[in-house]
Structure 1
Amino acid sequence: MSYLITLFEQHSYLILFIGIFLELMALPISGELLMSYAGYFVYQGKMNYFLALLMVFLSGGLGITVTYWIGKAGGYKLIEKYGKYIHLGPERFKKTAAWFERSGSKLLVFAYFIPGIRHFTGYISGISKMPFRKFIIPAYIGAFLWGVCFITLGKVLGPQWKSFHQAAGKYLIVFLIGLAVLLVGYFAFRFYKVQIKEFFIHLLKRLLERLKTIRAAEIFLIILTLVLIGMVSLMLGLAQDYLYNEFTQFNEIAEYMVHSVVYMSWMKGFLVFQPLYALSSIIALTIIRIWIKGRNRVLEYLLLFVPILGVRLFHESVIQIFHSLQRFGFLGKFHSANFPDLNGMIMITIYGTCLFLLVRHSKRNYITITIPIIGLFQLIGLAIANIALTNVLPSDIAGGYVYGSVWIFFNFLLFEMLRLVLEKY
């Protein structure tokens, strides 16, 4: 690989083209490394961004097309005779082919991002006799997106490329999966807006009707329990990373990406939701809403104030547990004394509890959907603004949000169980 990097510095476009082509022929070459290195060259002004993208698109398209026709011409006998040389034996072929059959041609778009799959995509598509017209469009779209992502990644990381490219690539794949889900949702809504709207309105009406019954309340408790279990699992995972000081790379990448890519000056406006007057306003609005609703006021006010007043005590308990664990064997110095971030815990506790109570008492379907989404974007915006403008570590904010979520969902479950008991007796 070092020899290829040396050649790359002398013949950038040619090596990029040949390297991507050979990787898709199933040779052991790292296409992500070449593309992100090309992005680094773009940052240095040694390569043109659009020409680099064109090289990846052409070589990726050519490579996957050649392997498609090889697979179609050779058929399954190709796997039996030569599959072992490219780590694609009959058993692995059957598993991957079954995955392709279940997912259809749309998997071709994302197969480039899956190590161990992209090398065989063309062969499997050809051997499976997938129609070429069905194969070509998603395969070429995937090649283009693959190039855009990793060349842009190298360009964005710039001087930090050598330190971050491997880890950032992992986070980028997670981001791409999330982006793909959002894009699919957007286009589905764009083309099936009426049907989706009618479906969700009907679903929400049925859910709201069923929530009025005891059985529905029990289902609601099960959902809260599952969410709480998921958040506790995430909390324990973060605790393990904290105790073993494994947040360093995450913090470096997150801070660099926020300062270089994500943060924009207008995001400073999110900090308006952080002062005491903003928190007092949402609490006051919730108090008024509960009073107007007039049902189970005492229970609702307890659900509002117990999490808010108890969050500092919960935070202090977590800190004490970490210090105790340090005394009993975790002797290294923790990377931060502020994990989990108290401010993050307070933000998610107050906004999460208030929004939960506002939605819980709303009969309007659009409020049930829009308020949680707005709250989520608000908390994300607050996290980005704090990382960009203050000294708080990304891992501390993430910890604050996760530990705060555990705290409020524990209270939601506790008080909803109490509500169920009161309604029965």
Structure 2
Amino acid sequence: MESITSYVDHYGYIVLFVALLLEMIALPVPGEILMSYTGYLVYQHHLNWFLAIFAAGFGTSMGMTLSYWIGSILGGPFIKKYGSLFHLGPKQMERTSSWFNRYGNKVLIIAYFIPGIRHITGYFSGITRGNFRAYAIYAYAGAFFWTGTFISIGKLLGPKWDQFHNSAIKYMGIGIVIIALGVAAVYVYRKYSLQIKSIAYALVLWVFSIFKTRIRTEFVIAGTAIVTLGFAVLMIKMIQFFVGNEFQDFNGVVNVFVPLMFDRQWSWVMDLFLQLGTQKALMTVIILTIMWILLRGKDKTHEILTLFILTMGGELYEETLRRVFHQVEANHFITLDYVTSFPSDGSIMILIVYGFAVYMLVRHSQRIWIHTLADVLLVVCLLLIGASHVFFGLQQPSDIAAGFTFGGVWLGLNILLLELFRLL
């Protein structure tokens, strides 16, 4: 590794171009580490950011082009002779080629971020004789997106590029897996849309026949149940990470990236979002929520009672959690290298109050654009409130994330109870 970085120090763009070309034809070159180090050189002003991305992206594109034509020329005879050993007979190969020609190019951008997969996509595209023009569009676009991402990460991390490279890669990998699952879900829905719609319609009719209520309420219950279950699963995973003291990498990456994304010129913005999490701001949101319920609510008593239980019970909920986890920390002799407030009590109440306010706004509004805008603003607001606490060094990122997660479970359960009262 040291020899490669020394070559980059001396020859810069040429080494970057050649190394990534060689990696795309499946030679053992540590491309991601090399690009992160290149970003560090950009940080030191030894290399130009734009030219570095161009050299890396161009080298990757040429490597993908070369692997495509190698697969196109040599892959066919190889598969015919040895394909049966890999369960790739003529019929299987025909089905695989049909699928790959239809969907394969679209997953190229994601494939770059998966080691091993990016090294074979070019060859496989050539073997299946896919349309080269369509392949090139996605392959080249993905090449510049991939190289630009890692070089920019190295530039952002600066002197800490080596320390946090592996951690950044790990959490990026998690994000790529989530995206891949989303793509797979879209594919399954498109292929089996008629069956899925018929099953969903049958379920709606079944619920409707039992509760004799509006379909809107049934979908609200189903959606809330799914989201609450997701929060509960994430909560269990976070508890495991806390007990196993496995939040160091996550905290390290976030604590590095937040100051890099928001320098001191953003102080007034961060302070503004910090104020949105204060008790004064939360009380204002609660009052506005009550006014909205009185103005537009159709079940005012239950909705105001739910808000009361959410807030008053939320205070007891967060106090109980804090004591339980302090006891867990003491009993399991968990030694942390940072001061913890797991889960953050402030984050719990922030999500509960803002989440219920947005829920009431969406629940009593018929306009779809309001639903979308309110949901997006809620997510952005929560992220920036959390970032403000990290920016000013008030809490650890893991504590904030846990607070939002635990708060999501409490909020979801109360909304479910409210909707069940509507049905009854």
Please give the TM-score of this superposition, normalised by the length of structure 1.
0.82
- The DSSP-based 3-state class of the residue aligned with 1:75 is helix
| Corresponding letter in the other structure for 1:359 | V
- Written as runs of structure 1 = structure 2, the 5 A alignment for 1:219-258 is 219-258=219-258
Deviation at residue 64 of structure 1 after TM alignment? 0.9
How far 1:349 sits from its partner (Å)?
0.8
**Residues 23 and 221 (structure 1 numbering): CA distance in 2 closer, same or farther, change over 3 Å?**
same
**Equivalent residues of 1:71, 1:78 under 8 A apart:** no
User: Is 1:141 aligned to residue 141 of structure 2?
Assistant: yes
CA-CA distance at 1:179 after TM superposition: 9.7
1:3-402 superposed matches below 5 A: 3-79=3-79, 100-173=100-173, 213-214=213-214, 216-262=216-262, 264-265=266-267, 267-268=269-270, 269-293=272-296, 295-326=298-329, 328=331, 330-334=332-336, 335-402=338-405
Describe the superposition over 1:176-217 as per-residue Cα deviations: whole angstroms up to 9, x where unpaired: 7899999xxxxxxxxxxxxxxxxxxxxxxx9xxx99935553
| Cα offsets for 1:216-244 (capped at 9, x unmatched) | 53443232222211110000111111111
Deviation (angstroms), 1:304: 0.9
Displacement after TM superposition at 1:288 (Å): 1.7
Offset, 1:172:
3.7
Superposition deviation, residue 33 in structure 1:
1.1
Between the aligned partners of 2:77 and 2:392, the Cα distance in structure 1 is: 61
Unmatched tracts of structure 2, length 5 or more: 183-203
2:340 partner SS = coil
Distance 1:127 1:377, change over 3 A: same
Unaligned runs of 5+ in 1: 183-205
| 3-state DSSP of counterpart to 1:220 | helix
Residue type of the partner of 2:385? Answer: L
CA distance 1:296–1:48, shift in 2 (3 Å): closer
In the superposition, relative to structure 1, how do residues 143 and 308 fare at CA in structure 2: closer, same or farther (>3 Å)? Answer: same
- The match for 2:190 is none
Distance (whole Å) between structure 2 residues aligned to residue 89 and residue 20 of structure 1: 28
Q: Cα gap change, 1:315/1:102 in structure 2, threshold over 3 Å: closer, same or farther?
A: farther
- Give 1:159 deviation, angstroms: 0.5
Q: Deviations over 1:19-69 (max 9, x none)?
A: 111111111222111111111122223322222222212211211111111
Distance 1:135 1:363 in 2: 43
**How many residues were matched structurally?**
391
- Cα separation, 2, equivalents of 1:388 and 1:323: 25
Paired residue for 1:420, among 402, 409, 423? 423
Cα distance in 2 for residues equivalent to 1:173 and 1:26: 20
TM-superposed CA distance for 1:274, in Å, is 2.4
Identity of aligned residues (%): 37
Q: Which stretch shows the higher mean deviation, 67-76 or 338-347?
A: 67-76
Structure 1 residues 305, 135: CA separation in 2 closer, same or farther (over 3 Å shift)?
Answer: same
Q: 1:278 to 1:320 in 2, by over 3 A?
A: closer
Residue 407 of structure 1: how far off its partner (Å): 0.7
For residue 231 of structure 1, what is the amino acid of its counterpart?
A: F
Using a 3 Å threshold, how does the CA distance of structure 1 residues 96 and 324 change in structure 2: closer, same or farther? Answer: farther
Q: RMSD between aligned alpha carbons?
A: 3.2
Shift in Å, 1:368: 2.6
Give the alignment's TM-score, normalised by structure 2. Answer: 0.83
* Cα distance, 1:327 vs structure 2: 5.3
